[in-house]
Chain A
Amino acid sequence: MSDTTIVRPYGDTTGDGMVQVSFTLPVPHDKRAEGAAVQLAAKMGIDPAMLVHAKPVGDGFTFFVVYGRVNHLVDLSAVRVVERDYPLLSAKEVNAVVKRRLRRKLSVVGACIGTDAHTVGIDAILNVKGIAGEKGLEYYRELTVTNLGAQVSVPELVEAARAQRADAVLVSQVVTQRDAHLHNTREMTAAFREAMPAQKRPLLIVGGPRFDEHMAGELGVDRIFGRGTTPGEVASYLVHALVTNRRVPA
């Protein structure tokens, strides 16, 4: 099994290729609309397509559910993802490493920047409460956490990072309208580059559900965390990047 690199979606039989999709077309519900839905499914590689549900939605729109066999193959050997390249540590281990190797508290500053008011991401990572039963970074004895909250301007963030002697700056971005998350992140990294020499600059980390984890270099950050990231992963990465694998000043 493990050397199989070509797979297809699985309905109830290996290799059946079955998928389910739903979508809305801007046409009133009639025979032609259903034909249009099947045509779209065929263009998506679903053939034969079973139109199992069609329903008028609002004025002049129809919602469809389609099941069918997709004729595309997935080549696992060609999949590229950012694998975790650091060991996952428990809170106790994180504290122990910071205490033994850094010999001071590790300072973390977090914020939602720009007009983004969605603190749910940064709070899940930083607040003691944490997420999914995992405590946030405030819970780590050897970390000093400053959570600036929502709608922090970039200059405020740089100033707070300086005042707190931040080892790492965590920025959360949820709103993606007009690519606000990308613009804000670029503005933030540019400001840090301008304000501090490279060796003094804190580790810059952004997180949010809509970031592409491959874009770290392009955005000028050290790391991007996507959907489902837990505080433990962030803490482990901080220890890895700042203590065990201490960043070489560029």
Chain B
Amino acid sequence: MSGKLDLDPVLVARARELARRAGAPVVELARSHTTVSVERAVLRLAGVSGADPDGIPWVNRLVDAVVADVGLGHGVAAPVFDAMAREGVADVTLLAQKAAAGSVRFEVPVGKAGTAARRAARRAVAAGVRLVDRRRAERERLVRRYGDPPSRPWIYLIVATGDIYEDIPQAQAAARAGADVIAVIRSTGQSLLDYVPEGATREGFAGTYATQENFRLMRAALDQTSRELGRYVRLTNYASGLCMPEMATLAGLERLDMMLNDSMYGILFRDINPVRTFVDQRFSRQVHARAGIIINTGEDNYLTTADAVDEAHTVTVSQLLNEFFAHEAGLADWQLGLGHAFEINPEVPESFRLELAHALLARELFPDAPLKWMPPTKHMTGDVFRGNLLDGFFNLVGTMTGQGILLVGMMTEAVVTPWLSDRDIALQNVRYVLGAAGGLHEDFVPAPGGFIQQRANRVLGEAVDLLERIGEQSLLTAIAEGTFGIMKRPADRGKGLAGVARHESGYYNPATDILERAS
């Protein structure tokens, strides 16, 4: 489907060019800095695993030890593998343990020692990347064997009990009830932990901790359900917060299929330092690209704090930026679950037509991206009957505009975490709408010059205006001044800034090397 909105191709090209211009300095920033989480992700690929008795991962202990001796700016790979050679330690986790005990001194190796250390680091990291490659091949094989969902949009459901062993039967039940994608919501607050918890977890707040073991357990359970259903059920988690690169790496190692990964969400909604976020984001997207993971971006969040009509163009701008950053990091269009949401106040006249216009605009601007369509939350009031009706209209927009991934709306949004019956009613709603109107997009052709075309063109025009203004200053300044979702986030503030370093000359990161060579 294309050409329903009569968008001006020159204006669309201009919008992309402006997004590139706004994003390019940020990419430059990301290429010239590293973070503790990027370095920890490198070590995870190199094979460091497990945690100390207090639950602090060995990757954290090792990076901290290297930073204490030589700083972060050289990258940790060469100092770590140099120390392994000097200490005669063959296992990198063992080195981490020795380093944590204070019995290893790190230095930045030069000359022959430097070449040898870099070669050894590269060999170890390449083995980790090969594991990611094998997981990707495994997914492709399973999708061939069990099949993709029979139709679009894919139906995306959330589980969030806090206990992985409760999540598993709930996720399996949701899949049997029709979910194509299961997202395990993370425990509130995990995004601000500067380490990834270890092991299977049974306690969380409004969600379940994302850990490598929890990833593994859930993926194995869904593989079993996929076999049973004859349909590959996808698994989603979050590459966001302070450990974005590590989350992406663990997702690649455990064959997760989708990851929430927005270029600005952490900055705006978690007050994470902008530089930290952009550096972490670029690395995590390079890993996602390699792992064949579909990213979901978070534009829906802007509309929960800003007005969905007045600020509709900020969603378009963010989608364009997310697209630019994603392409730059090597992601293909099929991996871009660009987000948007049904959040217009239902009291606004013609709100449904406005929603149609906005959703169709996203569809036509990004014809080859799956697009993630998010349900109403802001105007869900506790009136569950009206909520169910709103969700029905949300589903209708989703199918009329060809959205790729549909997050199932709950009529009990803002009331309780979904009950079994809430989920069933919500899925019934989706099935009814998709069953009754699944092909309506064929007949749905907005009148030339009519309300929907005019609205979509206007939003695109406003997006271009905003991108022009961002281009005159810089994206970092725009974020600092509260352009997106009202929050003001200066580049020299926010959480995680201490874990950012500018590359020293001779900075070495074998993972980036390998990932960039592939693309």
Contacts and interface: CB of A to CB of B under 8 A. Distances in A.
Q: Is B one of A's binding partners?
A: yes
Contacts of A175: 188, 205-206
Contacts of B421: 22-24, 57, 63
B270 A150 contact: yes
Majority DSSP secondary structure for residues of B touching A: loop
Contact of B189 (A59, A117, A123, A178): A117
Majority DSSP secondary structure for residues of A touching B: loop
A160 interface: no
A23 B419 CA distance: 10
A177 B305 contact: no
A241 B251 CA distance: 52
A115 B189 contact: yes
B305 A123 contact: yes
Interface size class of A (residues with CB under 8 A): 20 to 34
Given A24-B419, A120-B304, A151 B189 contact: yes
B205 A58 contact: no
Given A115-B189, A117-B191, A175-B205, A59 B270 contact: no
Interface size class of B (residues with CB under 8 A): 20 to 34
B162 interface: yes
A198 B433 CA distance: 59
B269 interface: yes
A58 B177 contact: yes
A116 B173 contact: no
A129 B307 contact: yes
Given A24-B419, A115-B188, A117-B188, A150 B271 contact: yes
Interface string A113-125: 0111111100100
Given A57-B424, A151-B189, A175-B188, A127 B305 contact: yes
A114 B382 CA distance: 25
B179 to A, nearest CB: 12
Contacts, number: 65
A55 B271 CA distance: 45
A151 B194 CA distance: 14
Nearest to B204: A177
A180 interface: yes
B269 A150 contact: yes
Contacts of B382: 227
B437 interface: no
A180 B487 CA distance: 26
A58 B305 contact: no
Contacts of B419: 24
Contacts of B271: 149-150
Contacts of B420: 24, 57-58, 61, 63
B205 A129 contact: no
Interface string B414-453: 1000011100110000000000000000000000000000
Interface of A: 22-24, 55, 57-59, 61, 63, 114-120, 123, 127-129, 149-151, 175, 177-178, 180, 209, 227
24 contacts: A24-B419, A24-B421, A55-B424, A57-B420, A58-B173, A58-B424, A59-B173, A59-B176, A61-B420, A63-B420, A114-B189, A115-B187, A117-B189, A119-B269, A119-B305, A127-B305, A127-B486, A129-B305, A129-B307, A149-B487, A150-B269, A151-B189, A177-B162, A180-B205
